């Protein structure tokens, strides 16, 4: 029995070491970026992802009571000459879910281009599967599924922080960044600000797209057929609702068009079912235009089929978060080892990353 306990203890120790390695910047971070070229999209992506990782580690440091020289979070922002301006704390469980970073390059050491450098980055982490934050994070994940993230106190804290930074320092050179649940938070904050005419750069890693997993269908004809039929039905229901003066709780045409000027950077992995549908969402628009059915898709893309059905049944349905007019979509084409890698934040700063990027502009 003593030997068994020893083996278990050793295994747990090795697991803890492995977890710590993923949290240590010098072992897992983009140490190859010794000077940042702010004109380089890969550099910008890597910095944004690292700052999001910094939020994850801030909460992990808090959970593990790692303070002072034992804290693992600071290198994730200090390497890029950022300072921690403020942490964002959830008022329900007191966990750290976000951070505001201030860019503070030293005049003597900073050798990168400053043309596209940002003064502030507001970053949000995703769901933590360890520690006290897990329960609250899962509650927020459920709110995303119910299209109710905008009604949570965590989002209220987040949007107040964004508005404070914009009001205090101006809207230029401010980034929003987030991963998974945090990407949903950043997207909602960006959309909220864009509706008031304030367009902030956003870096959204693996944002959730809640729909049937059509993108995973291998047969292209079947996949395109399902998307075409869905668009026709959605556009038809939207038109019928308008004719009957129904109260459809999705974006109005004018609001959707106004949002089209905001072009966030969305990063997805085709092997990640949580975010992969963004690929088909934007590609299908172009295919419909090529087929001469662009008018149908222009209406359909502004609405959720499920939301329209719920409204016809007399039930309230909030605007789905994933309905977005424009985006710079980047797809990671590097095959992942497993789902954890496909959905993880670490993939986005690898120097050998094979990606395909395209701008999708709603007109």
| d(C-alpha 262, C-alpha 284), whole Å | 20
**Could you tell me which residues are beta bridge partners of residue 358?**
329
User: pLDDT-based confidence at 195, cuts 50/70/90?
Assistant: very high
Q: Which residue has the higher pLDDT, 54 or 319?
A: 54
User: pLDDT-based confidence at 337, cuts 50/70/90?
Assistant: very high
Fold (CATH) for 24-106+116-211+252-289+325-360: Rossmann fold (3.40.50)
**Nearby residues of 86 by Cβ (< 8 Å), 6 or more positions away:** 99, 100, 161
Closest CA to 85 of 105, 101, 74: 101
- What secondary structure does DSSP assign to 23-88, as a single string? H-HHHHS-TT-SS--TT-HHHHHHHHHHHHHHHHHHHHHHHHT--GGG-SSTHHHHTTTEEEEEEE
Q: What is the pLDDT of residue 256?
A: 79
pLDDT for 205-228, tens place per residue?
Answer: 999 997 766 666 777 777 667 776
Q: What is the pLDDT of residue 305?
A: 53
| d(C-alpha 180, C-alpha 124), whole Å | 9
Weakest-pLDDT range from 77-91, 288-302, 349-363: 288-302
Q: Average the pLDDT over 31-36 and give the result.
A: 93
pLDDT for 285-325, tens place per residue?
Answer: 777 777 776 666 667 676 665 555 555 555 555 677 888 99
- Cα distances from 113 to residues 44, 84, 104, 117, 118, in angstroms, run 12, 22, 14, 7, 11
Q: What is the pLDDT of residue 154?
A: 97
Round the average pLDDT of the chain to a whole number and report it.
83
Report percent pLDDT > 70 for the chain.
74
**Which contiguous run of DSSP H or E holds residue 203?**
strand 201-205
Closest CA to 250 of 309, 312, 307, 185: 307
**Nearby residues of 254 by Cβ (< 8 Å), 6 or more positions away:** none
Q: What is the pLDDT of residue 18?
A: 44
* Pairing relationship of beta strands 355-360 and 327-332 according to DSSP bridges: antiparallel
Q: Average the pLDDT over 236-252 and give the result.
A: 57
pLDDT for 9-30, tens place per residue?
Answer: 344 444 444 456 889 999 999 9
Q: Average the pLDDT over 164-178 and give the result.
A: 94
What are the residue boundaries of the structural domains of the chain, listed by start?
A: 24-106+116-211+252-289+325-360
Q: What is the pLDDT of residue 253?
A: 57
| d(C-alpha 53, C-alpha 347), whole Å | 11
Q: What is the pLDDT of residue 108?
A: 54
Weakest-pLDDT range from 87-101, 169-183, 235-249: 235-249
Q: What is the pLDDT of residue 17?
A: 44
| d(C-alpha 82, C-alpha 53), whole Å | 14
pLDDT at 111 over 70: no
């Amino acid at each position: 029995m003593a030997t068994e306990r020893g083996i278990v203890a050793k295994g747990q120790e090795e697991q803890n070491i492995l977890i710590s390695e993923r949290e240590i910047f010098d072992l897992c971070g983009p140490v190859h970026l010794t000077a940042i070229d702010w004109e380089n999209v890969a550099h910008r992506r890597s910095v944004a992802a690292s700052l999001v990782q910094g939020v994850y580690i801030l909460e992990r440091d808090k959970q593990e009571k790692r303070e002072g020289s034992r804290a693992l979070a600071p290198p994730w922002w200090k390497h890029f000459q950022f300072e921690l301006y403020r942490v964002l704390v959830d008022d329900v469980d007191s966990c750290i879910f976000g951070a505001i970073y201030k860019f503070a390059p030293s005049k003597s050491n900073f050798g990168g281009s400053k043309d596209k450098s940002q003064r502030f980055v507001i970053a949000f982490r995703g769901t933590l599967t360890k520690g006290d934050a897990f329960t609250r994070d899962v509650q927020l994940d459920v709110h995303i599924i119910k299209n109710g993230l905008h009604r949570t106190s965590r989002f209220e804290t987040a949007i107040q922080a964004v508005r404070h930074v914009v009001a205090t320092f101006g809207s230029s050179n401010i980034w929003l960044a987030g991963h998974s649940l945090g990407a949903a938070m950043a997207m909602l904050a960006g959309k909220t600000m864009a509706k008031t005419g304030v367009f902030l750069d956003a870096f959204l890693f693996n944002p959730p797209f809640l729909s049937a997993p059509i993108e995973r269908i291998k047969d292209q004809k079947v996949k395109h057929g399902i998307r075409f039929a869905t668009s026709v039905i959605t556009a038809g229901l939207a038109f019928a609702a308008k004719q009957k003066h129904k109260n459809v709780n999705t974006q109005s045409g004018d609001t959707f068009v106004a949002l089209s000027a905001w072009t966030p950077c969305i990063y997805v992995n085709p092997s990640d079912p949580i975010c992969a549908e963004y690929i088909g969402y934007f590609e299908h628009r172009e295919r419909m235009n090529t087929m001469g059915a662009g008018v149908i898709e222009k209406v359909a893309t502004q609405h959720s089929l499920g939301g329209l059905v719920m409204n016809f049944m007399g039930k309230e349905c909030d605007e789905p978060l994933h309905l977005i007019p424009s985006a710079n979509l980047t797809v990671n084409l590097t095959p992942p080892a497993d789902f954890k890698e496909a959905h993880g934040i670490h993939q986005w700063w690898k120097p050998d990353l094979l990606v395909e990027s395209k701008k999708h502009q709603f007109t």
